[in-house]
Amino acid sequence: MGYDLVIVANRLPVDRVEQPDGTSTWRPSPGGLVSAIEPVMRADDGVWMGWPGGTEQDLEPFEADGLSLHPMSMTAEEIEGHYEGFSNATLWPLYHDLVAKPEFHREWWDTYVSVNQRFADEAAELANEDALVWVQDYQLQLVPQMLRELRPDLRIGFYLHIPFPPAELFQQLPWRRQLLEGLLGADLVGFQLPGGAGNFVRLVRQRVGHKTHRDLVYLPDGRTVRAAAFPISIDAAGFEELARSEEVTSRAKEIRAALGDPSKIFLGVDRLDYTKGIYARLRAYAELLEDGALDVEDAVFVQVAVPSREHVEEYQRLRDEIDRLVGRINGDLGRIGRPAISYLHSSYPREEMAALYRAADVMVVTPYRDGMNLVAKEYVACRYDDAGALVLSEFAGAADELRQAWLVNPYDINGMKAALLEAYRADGKDLTKRMKAMRKTVSHNDVRAWADHFMSELSHVRDKHGKAVRP
Ligand code: G6P
């Protein structure tokens, strides 16, 4: 009746899209989380709970593409307080180094608590005895504790896909203790990088007062919680296969031709988010054109900006800023049939992304702060020709693994300009050497290995330290 594996995430892997005629269809939902968890779900027979986007109520469970999906409806007030408010205007900027100023509102917090409780209640209903429940990301940090109170028999894992900030920033949060206690309901709390896990353990010791040793937290009830890093990845083989397909190969050629066969294509692909450093990156590129180091007859910058969180004020402001910047750069530096920047504010299917990666000579990923950044890994996975250059921010989690990229500090415009030029001018031998090494890393640590590692560590923590406490 129930399930042995329950994935609890804010979003379902598909979004419900209303058609003008009143019917609805489904399309893959945005972001790295979905692309990471989907292959895991396919392999293990489980259920995925989450919000399908929109405000429709009383949605029935359904199957999509062989996945069992359990939609959680959200009211307009819940979307405003939980999703747009506390998750994306409080936690998101707070956890990303205060790149924007977080807003603290008590009503948002109240809604965050009640939505988390609803998710926990539903997960408790869906899970079989001794099932494994894997809670995902910053929108649901209270679920582990709420779920443990309802179902102490469950093995509970939590994974944070975004950075976990240092204590100096985290402690601004009026509800810091509640969030830490929420996460401590899990047996295993996973982070992208060791630094995030370390920040968490330190905060638990300082703010909650529990005893800790290395990556373990000892709770007064005898339970042990482990906090460790599990850098996430992608379905590398799946991307490579797609990139090798005839369809994608010919589409990549088409893209090059449509851009006027420039000698080099630069590419940026991001959700339109202020953490991604799109503005600074485009400015750096424009300055290279102004300086005469690059020429619009030879090079073009394709920037894909996927619409995101469009009701949140900071995102609206960012969109206006980027629109204005791209307009100004193209107006000042473009020529007929030769824009400096080919700007696409849209989301595309995986096939089109793979074709863009195949067409791009220099992939530019320059976030101010990013948990991992899967775009960087997708680019590498698609370059089976061992060609192509990656310019990567040292503040993306991916920089820990992709050491052979041109690593940049996105706050340093001159440094970014220099790296873009070096990557543009790099010879084939250098590119091959770097790409080969990065491809080895990405194909070895793929998303399957990530999930297997997390799940096996989760059962290990329970066997060793935490016998389930029955009521
Ligand atoms: C990031 C977050 C995910 C989120 C995704 C898309 O990858 O870690 O939790 O789902 O962005 O953002 P959205 O607000 O559209 O869900």
202 and 259 housed in the same domain:
no
Percentage above 90 pLDDT, the chain? 88
Q: Which tops the pLDDT comparison, 156 or 459? A: 156
Catalytic residue (choose from 161, 210, 235, 446): 161
Give strand ranges (E) for 320-452: 341-345, 362-365, 389-393, 406-408
Q: How far apart (Å, rounded) are the C-alpha atoms in residues 236 and 448? A: 9
What confidence tens digit (pLDDT) does each residue in 385-429 have? Answer: 999 999 999 999 999 999 999 999 999 999 999 999 999 999 999
ipTM of the complex: 0.98
Residue 467 lies in a domain: no
Pick from 173, 160, 141, 133: nearest CA to 48: 133
Tokens coding 132: 């494994």
Q: Which tops the pLDDT comparison, 471 or 240? A: 240
Distances in Å between the alpha carbon of 264 and those of 39, 287, 298, 388, 414?
34, 17, 6, 10, 21
195 and 250 housed in the same domain:
no
Q: Supply the pLDDT for residue 471.
A: 34
Q: Which atom of ligand 1 is nearest to the CA of 9?
A: 9
138 and 203 housed in the same domain:
yes
273 and 196 housed in the same domain:
no
Residue 469 lies in a domain: no
Question: β-strands 299-306, 264-271: how paired?
Answer: parallel
Ligand 1 pocket check for 162: Cβ under 6 Å: yes
Q: Is the pLDDT of residue 466 over 90?
A: no
Distances in Å between the alpha carbon of 319 and those of 84, 289, 311?
16, 23, 11
Residue 22 lies in a domain: yes
**What is the average pLDDT across 279-284?**
98
Is 96 catalytic? The answer is no
The sheet that has 341-345: what strands, in order across it?
341-345, 299-306, 264-271, 362-365, 389-393, 406-408
Ligand 1 pocket check for 309: Cβ under 6 Å: yes
**Residue ID of nearest Cα to ligand 1 atom 3:** 33
* CATH number reported for the structural domain that contains residue 40 in this entry: 3.40.50.2000
20 and 153 housed in the same domain:
yes
Q: 25 falls in which pLDDT band (50, 70, 90)? A: confident
Q: 198 falls in which pLDDT band (50, 70, 90)? A: very high
251 and 212 housed in the same domain:
no
| Number of domains, the chain | 2
What confidence tens digit (pLDDT) does each residue in 34-88 have? Answer: 666 776 677 667 999 999 999 999 999 998 877 899 999 999 999 999 999 999 9
Q: How far apart (Å, rounded) are the C-alpha atoms in residues 54 and 78? A: 11
Residue 471 lies in a domain: no
**Residue ID of nearest Cα to ligand 1 atom 14:** 309
CB crowding 290-308: b at 16 or more within 10 Å, else e: eeeebebeebbbbbbbbeb
Residue 328 lies in a domain: yes
Longest pairwise C-alpha distance within the chain: 73
Pick from 337, 383, 329: nearest CA to 361: 383
Residue 49 lies in a domain: yes
Residue 58 lies in a domain: yes
Q: How far apart (Å, rounded) are the C-alpha atoms in residues 161 and 176? A: 19
Ligand 1 pocket check for 157: Cβ under 6 Å: no
Q: 470 falls in which pLDDT band (50, 70, 90)? A: very low
The answer to whether 134 and 88 have CB atoms below 8 angstroms apart is: no
200 and 284 housed in the same domain:
no
396 and 309 housed in the same domain:
yes
Domain that holds residue 278: 236-444
169 and 257 housed in the same domain:
no
Mutation choice for ligand 1 from 14, 48, 115, 137, CB with most ligand atoms inside 8 A: 137
**Start-end of H helices in 360-446:** 374-382, 413-425, 428-444
Q: Supply the pLDDT for residue 111.
A: 98
417 and 453 housed in the same domain:
no
Question: What SS3 state is found at 264?
Answer: strand
Is 213 catalytic? The answer is no
Catalytic residue (choose from 137, 235, 370, 446): 370
Ligand 1 pocket check for 232: Cβ under 6 Å: no
Q: Supply the pLDDT for residue 36.
A: 65
275 and 161 housed in the same domain:
no
Q: Is the pLDDT of residue 258 over 90?
A: yes
Mutation choice for ligand 1 from 11, 29, 119, 309, CB with most ligand atoms inside 8 A: 11
Average pLDDT, the chain: 94
89 and 22 housed in the same domain:
yes
Q: 468 falls in which pLDDT band (50, 70, 90)? A: very low
Ligand 1 pocket check for 434: Cβ under 6 Å: no
